[in-house]
Amino acid sequence: MKKQRTALVTGAGKGLGAAFARGIAADGSAVMVNNRSHEGQPSSAKNIADSLIAQGFTASHDDHAVDGKGAADAIIGHAVATWDGLDILVLNAGITGPAAKVGTLTDADIRAVMEINFHANTALIDAALPHLMASTAGRILFIASSAGLYGVRGRASYAASKGALIAYARTLADELSRTSVRVNILAPYAATNMTAAQGEALNEALHPDKATAAAVWLTRPECQRTGETWIAGGNYFCRATAIESVGGGTPDATADWFGENVERLSAMGNGQEHSGAEAAFADFFNRAKNISKE
């Protein structure tokens, strides 16, 4: 009999994390619902896990804060001990930090966001990787944001943390490309308590459940895509990537030459995508060494 796949979803006590946990559980996996607990308040992770169990799914809960001392080993250890292994890791826990423009953010504000949104996730990867490698189809899904692709006014620390997460995830995907582990990034648009805190009205068209189809499929064994960034929301999906213009050069380039040709050099009509920094450099170097005087 085929062993049931097992999953851990962090920050899954509400909003997008809860939606991902529901979707993955309904898809047949046993799900460990993680969310930090608050003294004197009911466990939101337990509430979600109990609701899944009531529907006939397999679930349990974990109340650790992802940025707590020793939290990564404790969270992963709990999931592995409960399910006798780990196949899926969805890294959703995160904070937006204070709304403030660059120059008014304190160093402590920036570090607090990076600690949860980036460092806590790298620690979880370190703890989970041996177990995911032991799986026949380990899957890692980083929950990022379009802010990490484009930046967002008033949320520089949040954007920076998500940008770092995307770069880290793409590197990890490249490093694991010859294994059975696949790594992808999802940047969801959804109306949640987090977005409401940013002054955005809750919009039923952007219900968190309407971003889950991609999350579920990207964590399935049949998903062989890796190192990709997907944007999802309102049951609409698209892939995002960094591209480079074809550009051009001349053996005796000057600042004046660059300025005179900047429009042509920046045109993205025939833009190229690369699998990683090494491939991007190799392609750039090949183009650069073949330039002819214009």
∠ CA 218-224-228 to the nearest 5 degrees?
Answer: 60
Distances (CA, A) of 140 to 47, 69, 103, 201: 24, 23, 35, 31
Q: Please measure the distance between the N-terminal and C-terminal CA atoms of the chain and give it in whole angstroms.
A: 67
Could you tell me if 63 and 43 are in contact, meaning their C-beta atoms sit under 8 angstroms apart? Answer: yes
Residue 41: predicted pLDDT: 86
Q: Give the integer Cα–Cα distance in Å for 138 and 129.
A: 9
Q: Give the integer Cα–Cα distance in Å for 94 and 101.
A: 20
Between 21 and 290, name the one with better pLDDT.
Answer: 21
Residue 40: predicted pLDDT: 80
- pLDDT one-digit tens code per residue, 234-247: 888 999 999 999 99
Question: Is pLDDT at 274 greater than 80 in this prediction?
Answer: no
Supply the mean pLDDT for the chain.
Answer: 91
Between 288 and 201, name the one with better pLDDT.
Answer: 288
pLDDT cut 70: percent of the chain above it: 92
> Which residue(s) pair with 244 in the sheet?
272
Distances (CA, A) of 64 to 34, 50, 71, 242: 7, 17, 6, 35
Residue 247: predicted pLDDT: 93
- pLDDT one-digit tens code per residue, 43-74: 999 999 999 999 999 999 999 999 999 999 99
- pLDDT one-digit tens code per residue, 209-233: 999 999 999 999 999 999 999 999 8
Topology (CATH) of 6-240 = Rossmann fold (3.40.50)
Question: Is pLDDT at 294 greater than 50 in this prediction?
Answer: no
Residue 276, SS3 per DSSP: coil
Q: Give the integer Cα–Cα distance in Å for 204 and 222.
A: 31
- Its pTM stands at 0.90
Q: What are the extents of the domains in the chain?
A: 6-240, 243-289
Q: Give the integer Cα–Cα distance in Å for 140 and 89.
A: 5
Residue 257: predicted pLDDT: 96
Q: How confident is the model at residue 269 (pLDDT cuts 50, 70, 90)?
A: confident
Detail the DSSP E strand segments found in 134-214.
139-143, 182-188
Q: How confident is the model at residue 200 (pLDDT cuts 50, 70, 90)?
A: low
Q: Give the integer Cα–Cα distance in Å for 41 and 233.
A: 30
Cβ count near 278 (within 10 Å): 10
